[in-house]
Amino acid sequence: MDALNPDYVFVFLLAGFLGFQLIKKVSPLLHSPLMSLTNAIAAVVIVGAIAVTGEAGATPLARTLGFIAVFCATVNLVSGFMITDRMLKMFKRKGS
């Protein structure tokens, strides 16, 4: 697999642009559902990065980038869950 294939670069840039356009138009009222969606995406990124990092024929660069991707996506996932939990606690009644 050629990592710098122009098709892959185009898909990556298009996905980044469309994702940014989608997220910037989301109402603040939908923050919690959006965080849940990004947590799910981060989980998929972690699985993909683990698969790339653990591949038998992976180059040292691929392993390094895979490790960085696993680390960053894990930090994103954990902090997303913490933020979502904190926001949901704001809407609980004090007696509950």
Residue at 70 is within a domain? yes
Whether residue 15 is contained in a domain is answered as no
Residue-wise pLDDT for 2-50, tens only, equals 556 677 677 777 877 877 777 677 666 666 666 667 777 778 888 888 8
User: Domain of 47?
Assistant: 28-90
Number of domains in the chain: 1
Which tens digit of pLDDT belongs to each residue from 43-89? 888 888 888 888 888 888 888 888 888 898 888 888 878 887 887 78
Burial 27-65 (b: 16+ CB within 10 A, else e): eeeeeeebbeebbeebeebbeebeebbeeeeeeeeeeeb
